[in-house]
Chain A
């Protein structure tokens, strides 16, 4: 299936059709999710209106982790099968994933101010999200650190795969560290029982942000394909000029 999609022209043709659908689903779910989240869902008996931050926070946290996973998978595709499109996909995922992890940190901090009384608490989840952000950052920095682009993408792909091995360990060790050091109990977002009226906007927002990031990734890949085409054309015209002038 990936072999079949890896052809850039075919990719362009298919996404041409799919892209409006993705955008449509995004808009529908985003509007309904925001409506249910902001107006038609109950206040939390402890957290009050601040619970509404959850409708952005939880989907972006989920997406930040999921996007890292897909980034690493597409890096595997790039390194093993050497699909050039896989590299474009992973380099398009990276900034979006980094943004979502930053968004998670910001919304977590905004939620923390009324709940914990401070902007930042070294909570286990926030800390591992911070580490995840630095993995994204390392990937982006490393892929831009080489003279030739292909070296950067290969090296950074290896880093992403090492990160995939290392991130569960970091997550586990941070949880471990937290249980050792944290005596106070912290209110956890989304406990085992959650009201149906809260669950609906949450699921809608998860869908909305997932489709939104899918839309952005496809857009990003298409832009990069066009960029590559421009480069190739420029190279070709330069070569022709050289051969003309002799």
Chain B
């Protein structure tokens, strides 16, 4: 019991720490949202201002914008702690690295994905997304965002200390997150053509659960390799 409660305390304190670090530089969140707006703008400029065309692909644009805007920020999640030696210190502590990494990815989810949800009305207006999609979009971003942050931690741990890590990260990450895009767009598409989106939603949840289980272990393993250098 005491072990459990101490684990929960550690967990909460790590999430608090991430919050403190990230909210002292709100620039990150703002830059992600503006990057996403710019990606959407590029798409619309490339396609042309045709309402019918946009209505068909607005869901896809939204999801691609979301994924592309998040990827550059993933690299920093561990790199900063690696550079200033925080990871070297915590790996010697009795706290399991897996727990710290799980709290890190949850904190990332809270810090990056939740603000994106706040900006959702903006994208609904910009992309002319149907209003009945909103609850499904909320759920799918919440679930899909969790799996993106879980996979992102793996990607960030993979490129820790690598040469040209910032270019390598998208190449490694994008093949892994293809299912999120397919299921995420599938949810919105199913709603758009008046079918039940539950099948896609359950698949997305299942995918996220798999990574919820394996991601902390894999990234902790990778960090032990990186620290032993």
Contact = CB atoms under 8 A, between A and B. Distances in A.
Contact of B168 (A135, A142, A154): A142
A3 interface: no
A173 B175 CA distance: 12
B211 to A, nearest CB: 9
Interface stretch (B24-32, B137-145, B155-163): B155-163
A166 B176 contact: yes
Interface in B177-229: 178-179, 182-183, 186, 189, 203, 207, 210, 214, 218, 221-222, 225-226, 229
A180 interface: yes
A131 interface: yes
Nearest to A133: B175
A154 B225 contact: yes
A170 interface: yes
Given A131-B175, A165-B210, 15 more contacts: A138-B168, A141-B168, A151-B226, A155-B222, A155-B225, A158-B158, A158-B218, A158-B221, A159-B158, A163-B175, A163-B176, A165-B214, A173-B179, A173-B183, A174-B178
Interface string B92-107: 0000000000000000
A138 B182 contact: no
Contacts, number: 80
A161 B176 CA distance: 12
Given A142-B168, A145-B162, A170-B175, A151 B225 contact: yes
A145 B159 contact: yes
B203 A146 contact: no
B225 A173 contact: no
Nearest to A175: B182
15 contacts: A131-B175, A141-B171, A142-B158, A142-B168, A145-B164, A146-B163, A148-B229, A151-B161, A158-B218, A158-B225, A159-B172, A162-B154, A162-B218, A166-B176, A174-B182
Interface in A56-103: none
Question: What class of interface size applies to chain A in its complex with B?
Answer: 20 to 34
A138 B158 CA distance: 11
Interface of A: 131, 134-135, 137-138, 141-142, 145-148, 151, 154-155, 158-159, 161-163, 165-166, 169-170, 172-174, 176-177, 180
Classify chain B: how many residues form its interface, as a range. 20 to 34
Q: Which among B158, B176, B226 has the greatest number of chain A C-beta atoms within 10 A?
A: B176
B191 to A, nearest CB: 13
A33 B193 CA distance: 49
A163 B179 CA distance: 13
Contacts of A147: 163
Given A138-B175, A151-B225, A173-B179, A146 B161 contact: yes
A176 B225 contact: no
B176 A151 contact: no
A155 B163 CA distance: 13
A152 B226 CA distance: 10
Contact of A180 (B162, B189, B225, B226): B189
A141 to B, nearest CB: 6
Contact of A134 (B175, B183, B207): B175
Contact of B176 (A141, A162, A174): A162
A173 B159 contact: no
Given A154-B225, A170-B179, A177 B186 contact: yes
Contacts of A154: 225
Given A146-B161, A146-B163, A137 B171 contact: yes
A46 B75 CA distance: 51
Nearest to A79: B221
A237 to B, nearest CB: 27
Contacts of A162: 154, 176, 214, 218
A154 B172 CA distance: 15
Given A151-B229, A158-B222, A145 B168 contact: yes
Contacts of A174: 178, 182
Contact of B162 (A131, A146, A177): A146
Contacts of B154: 162
Nearest to B167: A141
A138 B178 contact: no
B178 A170 contact: yes
Contacts of B207: 169
Contacts of B221: 158
Contacts of A180: 186, 189
